[in-house]
Each structure stands twice: as C-alpha cells, then as structure tokens.
Structure 1
Amino acid sequence: MGKFQSSSVNDPQKLGAHSAERVLVIACGMLAREILAVKAQAGLDHLDLTCLPAEYHFRPNMIAPEMDKAIERAKAEGYRHIYAGYADCGTGGMLDKVLERHGVERLAGPHCFSLYQGTAAFEAIGDRDMLAFYMTDFLCRQFDSFFMKPLGLDRHPELIKDFFGNYERLVYLAQTNDPELDKVAEDAAKLLGLQYERRYTGYGDLETSLRAL
C-alpha cells in the first residue's frame, strides 16, 4: 500500500487555515483501513489520514526517516496537530527520537499486535504467546503478497519449515468478523503446520487512542 491522504479538502491550495484546526494522522499503511473504519464509526470528522507504505514492515529502518519527511510536509501544508499512527514497529527507538524532535505523539506499545489486544493484555499473555505467529485482518488480506511471494514459499514450499519451524501456533487477531478472512487464517495455519487460534480483538487501543484525539 502506498501513500494516500483522506481529507475533506481535496485541493492542496485550499489547505492552510483549514489544516491548522484538524488532526493529521500519519500512519502505517497496515493500519489504513482500520483507522478509516474507526473514524467513520466514531464520527471523527476532524481527522485526516496519510500513510507511509505498508512495505516498511519489512524495512523498519525506513520508518523514522520517512516519518520525519512526512511531518515536515504536513507542517508545510499548515497542520499544527499531528499524530503518528505507529507503535515502535521495530525501529529500536529511532521513531521516538524523530517524534520527540517534532513534538508528535504516537500509538503506545511495541507493535500493532499489542495495540489490537491492548498493551496490558498483550503483556499479560506474553509468555504464552512466545511461540505464536500473529496475523491480523490486514495480513490475512495480504498473505500472499506479504509472506508467500517475498519468502518464496509459493515456489519453494520446503522453506516453510525453515521460516516457521520454531512457531507452535498461528494466532489470528481479528479486527472484524469476516468469514473469508477466517478461512485465510485457517488455511495459513494448515499450510504452515501450526495450531490455529482465533481471537477477536476489534480495534483495541487503536480505537481508544484515535477517540482521544
């Protein structure tokens, strides 16, 4: 998923005074659908959204510098209220350094898997999930493009054991109740040779954080 923006103002020349009173969420593309869903359900019409590519999931070293650029662009467009729709996401604290410099807050927690379950719940179940491979609605929709093709599993299924042999369970953290996504997760568990568990989380702390804006 590439960059996009959801805003009630489509003409960049009309941004400025309008943007100053709105909140721009600069988020991971993996959270785009979920953020827009929360925005619609909660009536958060004051939120605008722009996303960095979801592919940075594989290159977390790109997140901090690209977030820095995105914040600079947002400020140039007149946004005074900016929020990072990211957890740490593997940046090792580098994202926090960028955000601190700009005075921008982010989603709490280490990654979206803790975000959806709630940080407290994630920490409480941490030891039990030590050998769990997590999937979300996004990862179910993008299973082929995020796992099968990049890892070469579609061409070399014998590599499945090399990549997933240390996992015991596939845990699907479901944001929605979608039978098609359930099937993807179940089939993935069978393919990877893992026990299957489904947990309905909804939007978890993501919804709480967005409502607080």
Structure 2
Amino acid sequence: MHEDRVAVVACGAIARHVAVVAARRGWPVDVVPLPPLLHNRPERIAAAVEREVARLRPRYPRIAVGYADCGSHGALDDVCARWEVPRLPGTDCYSVFAGAARMHALLEAEPGTYVLTDYLAASFHRSVVVELGLDRYPELRDDYFGHYRRVVWLAQHPTANLRAAAQRAAGVLGLPLEEVAVGDLLLERAVEELVHA
C-alpha cells in the first residue's frame, strides 16, 4: 500500500507534463497514463478511467484523475463521484493549459480554430493524419477540416522542433498557424489542487 503517495490516472497526452510538474515540486505522485488516442473515442474515456481507478484502489488510498471532461459529456464526472476522486477542472485540456477565459476569447474571436498542444503538435501525424485516414485518403481533408480557419498552438514549452511540428500540422490542414505561449503554470496549479484535494 502506497499510503504516502497519490496515483494520478492521466490522459497520455498530458501525463508527462503532470509527472514533470510533480517531480519539480516534490509531490508524492505516481502518474498512471492511459492511451492518448482515447481522445479519438471520448465515449470510452470514463470506462477506461474507472477500470484503472478500480485496479489502483487496493494500493493507493488517494487517487486523482488527470483528465478534464474531454468529451465524456459528464460520464467521467459520474465515475469520479462514484469513486470519490477529483479530476482536473474544465471541459478539456486546452482550458487546463490556457485557462477557460483565454480559450473562450480565442474561440469567440474565431470559432473555426483548430487547437494544438505540444503533445498534439509532436504527434499530429500519428494522432490525426493516420487515425483519420488522411495518409490514405488525403481528399478527406476538406471534409474534416473545411470549416476551420486557423490553427492555434498552445505552446507549453516552445522549441524549434515543436514549432516546426506545429507548422507541419498547420500545413497539412492548409491553415495559418498562430502561437500562443501558455507554459505549465495553470496545469501546475490544477495538479496541485488534485494532489492536495
């Protein structure tokens, strides 16, 4: 039994960020990542989280969920209530990184905004191009993305490699790229609330 540690069942897309923040702050956290491609089937997120929480419960008296709602339409909240575990705030990880007000302003200014995080920029080919079949059927691009007008990269740790990856992703979509520096501060605050809930 890990009496002094908190297990955080986290989306694979943010698990590394959660682990880095926890290590930097010296928090007793064990991050348990779930596959990031669950985001392509959000109706499966709640069940996957519940299986992991049930598996961890005998070993960890304290468990938290490193997901926002993420398209589960309240199903994840039902799981969290049933197991009495907290989760990250908000509707999606974009709001966790950028803040709800900033995300609202970005989408209000241009509803046709496709949003990238560092993870999504780096994994765009696998997570989007391959998963949606655009590598095999590139003509589907406009069917999927024809109503988007721009790509906004929420840059947590902007590097030359990530910037190039974000530019490639925007190029695949045929859209202009805007970079918005967000860092990890809001994520850090959210994780702190989870760890000390």
TM-score (normalizing by structure 1): 0.86
Q: SS of the counterpart of 2:109? A: coil
- 1:131-173 deviations in whole A, cap 9, x for unaligned? 1000111111111111111222222222211111100000011
- What corresponds to 2:136 in structure 1? 155
CA distance in 2 between counterparts of 1:177 and 1:41 reads 19
CA distance in 1 between counterparts of 2:106 and 2:127 reads 26
- What corresponds to 1:80 in structure 2? 61
Q: Which amino acid counterpart does residue 40 of structure 1 have in structure 2?
A: A
Aligned-residue CA RMSD (Å): 1.4
- What corresponds to 2:45 in structure 1? 63
Q: 2:84 aligns with which of 90, 103, 124?
A: 103
Deviation at 1:90, TM superposition (A): 0.4
Deviation at 1:42, TM superposition (A): 2.0
Q: Which amino acid counterpart does residue 168 of structure 1 have in structure 2?
A: R
- What corresponds to 1:135 in structure 2? 116
Report whether the alignment pairs 1:183 with 2:169: no
- What corresponds to 1:198 in structure 2? 179
Q: Size of the alignment, in residue pairs? A: 194
- Which has the larger Rg? 1
- What corresponds to 2:35 in structure 1? 53
CA distance in 2 between counterparts of 1:58 and 1:153 reads 15
Deviation at 1:204, TM superposition (A): 4.1
Q: SS of the counterpart of 2:57? A: helix
| Structure 1: stretches of 5+ with no match in the other structure | 1-15
CA distance in 1 between counterparts of 2:24 and 2:161 reads 22
Deviation at 1:190, TM superposition (A): 2.3
- What corresponds to 1:37 in structure 2? 20
Deviation at 1:192, TM superposition (A): 1.3
CA distance in 2 between counterparts of 1:28 and 1:39 reads 15
| Structure 2: stretches of 5+ with no match in the other structure | none
Report whether the alignment pairs 1:24 with 2:7: yes
Tell whether the 8 Å contact from 1:64 to 1:98 is kept in structure 2 after alignment.
Answer: yes
Tell whether the 8 Å contact from 1:148 to 1:154 is kept in structure 2 after alignment.
Answer: yes
Q: 1:126 aligns with which of 86, 107, 128?
A: 107
Q: SS of the counterpart of 1:92? A: coil
TM-score (normalizing by structure 2): 0.93
Distance 1:52 1:28, change over 3 A: same
Tell whether the 8 Å contact from 1:115 to 1:204 is kept in structure 2 after alignment.
Answer: no
Deviation at 1:119, TM superposition (A): 2.0
Deviation at 1:29, TM superposition (A): 0.7
Distance 1:204 1:110, change over 3 A: farther
CA distance in 1 between counterparts of 2:177 and 2:120 reads 15
